[in-house]
């Protein structure tokens, strides 16, 4: 049984902080923040809302609505960041280029960034964008945790097989350092596991609990 996670209390008081179109509009680069990334249709906003027990991120039936870096305050030293959704075909090319430019600038310059949660639709994993994020994570030494979202769309056995296959592919190409799990926002599948990862990155766990979260 997982120990009670201190991040839950922080999430209950989480609040919107600011939206930024460019890196120079971001909050002061201090403390710790975890960013959430994923293709526009990977269920990123739903996952963020489920993990925080709050309606922080705006969800939409039209993918591609997250066009800014959206910052959410947990406390004076900790933040979550909803990154622009990427790769939706109906978004105009200039806007895609703007997103990519400022996403890369954020990832490359943000000193307070301590971890990246990457959402992949379990039915369409390891897209070109996903592989780009994995490449960047390994090259920069940034901790990365993958949520295979929409796991409820598959039978449990098929979902487990998909998890094993993606984990095997990632280890083969990107090594052992990337963690991965099944996740479903509607079914609340994998919520506690993901929250333990967040708490570890945000320095909220005693050392013995951090070791169990990483195991």
For the whole model, what pTM was predicted?
0.88
pLDDT tens for the chain, 215 residues: list them: 455 788 888 888 888 899 998 889 999 999 999 999 998 788 888 898 898 877 776 654 444 445 788 999 999 999 999 988 776 555 566 656 666 777 888 999 999 999 999 999 999 999 988 998 999 999 999 999 999 999 999 999 999 999 999 999 999 999 999 999 999 999 999 999 999 999 999 999 876 555 555 55
Q: Which of 2, 28, 58, 1 is nearest to 198 (CA)?
A: 2
Contacts of 154 by beta carbon, 8 Å cutoff, 6+ apart: 122, 123, 162
- Helix ranges restricted to H, 53-147: 93-109, 128-140
In Å, what is the CA distance from 181 to each residue of 60, 117, 149, 169, 178?
Answer: 24, 11, 9, 14, 10
What integer pLDDT is reported at residue 9 of this predicted model?
Answer: 87
Residue 16 CB-half CA count within 13 A? 10
Considering only CA atoms, which of 70, 102, 67, 78 is closest in space to residue 13?
78
End-to-end CA distance of the chain: 14
CATH number of 6-202: 3.40.50.300
The confidence score (pLDDT) of residue 88 equals 54
């Amino acid at each position: 049984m997982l120990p009670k996670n201190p991040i839950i209390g922080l999430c209950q008081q989480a609040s919107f902080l600011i939206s930024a179109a460019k890196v120079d509009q971001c909050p002061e680069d201090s403390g710790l923040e975890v960013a959430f990334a994923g293709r526009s249709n990977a269920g990123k906003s739903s996952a963020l809302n489920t993990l925080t027990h709050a309606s922080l991120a705006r969800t939409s039936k039209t993918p591609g609505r997250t066009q800014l870096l959206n910052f959410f305050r947990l406390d004076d030293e900790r933040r979550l960041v909803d990154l622009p959704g990427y790769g939706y075909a109906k978004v105009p090319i200039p806007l895609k280029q703007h997103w990519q430019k400022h996403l890369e600038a954020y990832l490359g310059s943000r000193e307070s960034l301590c971890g990246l949660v990457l959402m992949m639709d379990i039915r369409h994993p390891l897209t070109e964008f996903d592989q780009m994020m994995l490449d960047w994570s390994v090259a920069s030494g940034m901790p990365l945790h993958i949520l295979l979202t929409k796991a409820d769309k598959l039978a449990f056995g098929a979902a487990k097989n998909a998890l094993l296959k993606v984990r095997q592919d990632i280890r083969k190409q990107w090594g052992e350092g990337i963690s991965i799990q099944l996740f479903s926002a509607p079914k609340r599948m994998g919520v506690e596991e993901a929250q333990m990862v967040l708490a570890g990155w945000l320095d909220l766990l005693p050392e013995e609990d951090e070791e169990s979260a990483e195991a």
